[in-house]
Amino acid sequence: MEGGCLCGALRYRVDAEPLDTGYCHCTMCQRSTGAPVLAWASIPAAAFAYTKGRPAIYRSSSWGQREFCTGCGAQICYRDRGAAKTVEINVGCLDKPAAYPPKTHIFVGDRIPWFETTDDLPRYEASRPGSEPI
């Protein structure tokens, strides 16, 4: 699977199936994308590689960073700082985003009240690992 930014300066390749997919409603994703929700796919870090260009890195928290194009501003992915095991790519940046449909909603506690999806996917108040669906 391949993807890239809006202007084409950044391109990447994914050489593995996603470990997980979903919608994130957290305020950081809202602010970093300008959208009420972010569709993401978690990929093993070793299976993700940029094939064109180098991303700018914004350290969005003490534990994570977001990678984006300096030309058009498109956010490509999120990963933990340090030795990240996964890369959470923004599904909308894939050449074929329909290939990675969401399986869950996370951080619905931060959901913007006027934005609602009408699916039956599991919903988690915070992050998925260790939390119970609501």
Spatial strand order of the sheet with 11-14 comes to 2-4, 11-14, 48-52
* Contact in structure between 5 and 93 (CB atoms under 8 Å): yes
pLDDT value for 84: 87
* Contact in structure between 1 and 99 (CB atoms under 8 Å): yes
* Contact in structure between 103 and 21 (CB atoms under 8 Å): yes
* Matching residue, tokens 């914004």: 58
Alpha-helical segments (H) within the chain:
27-33
Whether 50 shows a pLDDT value over 60: the answer reads: yes
Single-letter code of the amino acid located at 112: I
pTM of the predicted protein model: 0.88
Name the average pLDDT for the chain.
92
Going from the C-alpha of 45 to that of each of 31, 32, 41, 72, the distances in angstroms are: 24, 21, 12, 24
Read off the pLDDT of residues 77-96 as tens digits, 9 standing for 90 and up: 999 888 889 999 999 999 99
Domains of the chain listed by start with CATH number: 2-110 (2.170.150.70)
pLDDT value for 129: 58
The sign of the torsion formed by the CA atoms of 47, 29, 68, 65 equals negative
pLDDT value for 60: 85
